[in-house]
Chain A
Amino acid sequence: MNAAVTPAATGTDKVSGHRIGAITWLVVFAFLLVAPFVGVYPVFMMKALCFAIFACAFNLLLGYTGLLSFGHASFMGSAAYATGWLVRSAHLSPELGVLAGVLLAGALGLVVGLLAIRRQGIYFAMITLAMAQMIYFICLQVPFTGGEDGLQGVPRGRLFGLLPLDNDLVMYYVVLAVFAAVFLAIVRIVHSPYGQILKAIRENEPRAISLGYDVDRYKLLAFVLSTALAGLAGSMKTMVLGFATLSDVHWSLSGEVILMTLLGGMGTFAGPVVGAVTIIGLQNFLADRVGSWVTVIIGVIFVFCVIAFRRGIVGELLAWQQRRGNR
């Protein structure tokens, strides 16, 4: 998607800037490390982190490759179901169940991607939406998912057969570690030569083609990576909460992840994380107080972001920093 505004250009880092940047990230990470002890509910944090992974995966596709997938929830949800079933009924240990979920999501992404990559822009979005709907109805029908009742009672088990995960605190640190790994992986991908080509495709696809790149293959690989990581988010969420339900494959979740990325700032690293935490926090905060108005508020944020806030929170902050720096 050719975003109307792209965030600050990447360039080579200055050494001092690099150090300050690293310190601030350490501060943030330190906060995340001690969060359960300063009074934040660990299950909520874990859920937020899973959605942050989901949003980061989505941002890889939207912010860095410029492809708007409107059915991304189906990948997250399918992996959620797969992991849930494998861990509960096939008695797989959690890390194998999660791995299987990731692989399934990637495979599904390959199939959908092959169909969708042929078209661009709006058509691409609509195709992903329709394919996602198909996956939703399949999940509804297939017996093992439990349909409307969901797949319940997934035990947390022991990580690698050794570390029991039932304790919320232990699980929290495992989830935090996975999140950190995913985040660093995405940073690596974006900064790599492959990532540069993706950005080139986003900026000006015809030019990239004229330079000789097999654009479709690059886009497909980005799509598969994105869906696999979305699957990771879904699998982790199943392990945390102990169930997978139809909400995980519903198109409204696809809409939410778009909002998280848009609100946070697409094409930035921290944007999707900020967006995810904000939206999950907002929903949690408002759910008991305002009932159906949550949907309205989400809709209003959407409209507002599209009209006046396209860079998102992080994007706006960075732009403000740049303006200050240029004065």
Chain B
Amino acid sequence: MKLKKIGAACALALGAMFGLGAPAQAQISGDVIRIGIITDMSSLYADIDGPAGVEAIRMAIAAVGGSINGKKIEVLYADHQNKPDVAAVKAREWFDTQGVDMLIGGTSSGTSLAMAKVAAEKKKLFISIGAATSALTNDQCNAYTLHWAYDTYALAKGTGNAVVKAGGKSWYFLAADYAFGAQLQADTSAVVKAAGGSIVGSVKHPLSASDFSSFMLQAQASKAQILGLANAGGDTINAIKAANEFGVTKTMKLAGLLVFINDIHSLGLATTQGMYLTDSWYWNRDADARAWSRKFFEKQKRMPSSIQAADYSATLQYLNAVKAVGSDDSDKVLAHMKTTKINDIFAKGGFIRGDGLMVHDMYLMQVKTPAQSTEPWDYYNLVQTFKGEEAWNSKAESTCALWK
């Protein structure tokens, strides 16, 4: 039918025109250094990284003067909404059509793993910040992924040991139902058992769960001494609230396995005092960190989390390497980064290992009581420092094929 088909053809062409709202074919930009950050901008991890993380990257770009050897430095950002498919498609599109030279971000283990795969396929550098899963430097390791701030192994080793030593021998886990939660629970269980403790039981909760009441009941029924929270961000905050509401805190102690300063700020010292946590950085750690954090505070009206500091550090080191090598080619830059010591506001004496892990000190801290806190965001007492290699898994324990 002529009418139908002409109409259809016109319409199809119209549709195709909308399709041209699609990005154009690959153009590798030679004159601009492009950094792309894909992270959680609007959901439960938005506070610990999010738009403030993009700002931290901008601070790093400013710190090198905005351009290197005449090439401008640009940053692109996108929200992955904690969905691995969104992250992977965006990363691929950026590499294919936007000439992105370095991919950074993640902040959720699922999305980081997806982005790492895309980066490896395209042979471009990906620095994972904020994702916790130790799988990134073990069975999922690859030559193009660097894991910068912390991982589940370090968290487990720090907090797990400290809590068992303080008397918390029997554990019940509440874990977020995805790669991160499972890995954190697994790593912590291993540490607890090795230290002489026992695991009584566990339950998984959906990511971004709103109602923890039934999980609290199950935790109470387990009669364990410790409730281990293998989740992060908004989930940890809600779980701690629910634990207080249902009187779980009267019979069990809470162990927050991944807690950021933003979570403490949200919950308040009264609720969280005495809690042990392991982190990779604290704004009040030393003079350098303080100075940088005050600058950050001026722009963002809050103190940076360790992830945001790591965003800054990773970007700075990358740009320094680009300057030193004179090119933004991923292979050359990676080779340089792997042989350079890292000394900035985030890490002193840090270095990159064969499995892609950036080795640096980790800190066991305890939340101050309200009386001990002298200013806003002054929340932690430093209990113990794990220096360098001591904080992370060893070559013998590693399952990374590249690091033997």
Contact = CB atoms under 8 A, between A and B. Distances in A.
Please tell me whether chains A and B touch each other in their complex, using a CB distance cut-off of 8 A.
yes
A268 interface: yes
B97 A41 contact: yes
Given A41-B24, A48-B19, A282-B21, A149 B96 contact: no
Interface string A1-43: 0000001101101101110111011011001100110011111
Contacts of A242: 88, 117
Nearest to B83: A247
Given A13-B1, A40-B20, A314 B42 contact: no
Contacts of A282: 18, 21
B12 A41 contact: no
Contact of A148 (B11, B42, B96, B178): B178
A281 B114 CA distance: 23
A13 B5 CA distance: 11
A22 B19 CA distance: 23
A27 B9 contact: yes
B88 A314 contact: no
Interface string B154-188: 00000000000000000000000111000000000
B84 interface: yes
A242 B118 CA distance: 10
Contacts of A173: none
Given A148-B207, A152-B113, A318 B22 contact: no
Interface in A113-153: 140, 147-150, 152-153
Given A44-B19, A284-B22, A8 B1 contact: yes
A245 to B, nearest CB: 4
A148 B112 CA distance: 12
B92 interface: yes
A93 B179 CA distance: 28
Contacts of B8: 24-25, 268-271, 274, 314, 317-318
- State which size class the interface on B falls in: 35 or more
B85 A45 contact: no
B65 to A, nearest CB: 27
B2 A16 contact: yes
Contacts of A140: 177, 206
Interface in B40-90: 41-42, 78-79, 82-86, 88-89
B93 A314 contact: no
Overall SS of chain A's interface: helix
Given A40-B25, A314-B7, A149 B84 contact: yes
Interface in A237-262: 241-243, 245-248
A119 B93 CA distance: 44
Contacts of B23: 41, 44, 284
A8 B4 contact: yes
B287 interface: no
A11 to B, nearest CB: 7
Contacts of A48: 19, 22
A141 to B, nearest CB: 9
B3 interface: yes
A3 B41 CA distance: 41
A8 B19 CA distance: 27
B5 A20 contact: yes
B85 A18 contact: no
A243 B25 contact: no
B84 A274 contact: no
Contacts of B85: 150, 241, 243, 245, 247-248
Contact of A318 (B3, B16, B24, B178): B3
Nearest to A14: B2
Interface in B191-232: 206-207
Interface stretch (A212-220, A228-236, A285-293): A285-293
B92 A43 contact: yes
A62 interface: no
A39 B24 contact: yes
Contacts of B97: 41
B9 A28 contact: yes
B84 A152 contact: yes
A41 B93 contact: yes
Contact of B7 (A153, A273, A318): A318
Contacts of B93: 41, 43-44
Contact of A243 (B2, B6, B114): B114
6 contacts: A28-B12, A44-B19, A148-B84, A264-B11, A270-B8, A278-B14
Given A36-B25, A41-B97, A149-B110, 4 more contacts: A150-B114, A152-B114, A264-B11, A269-B8
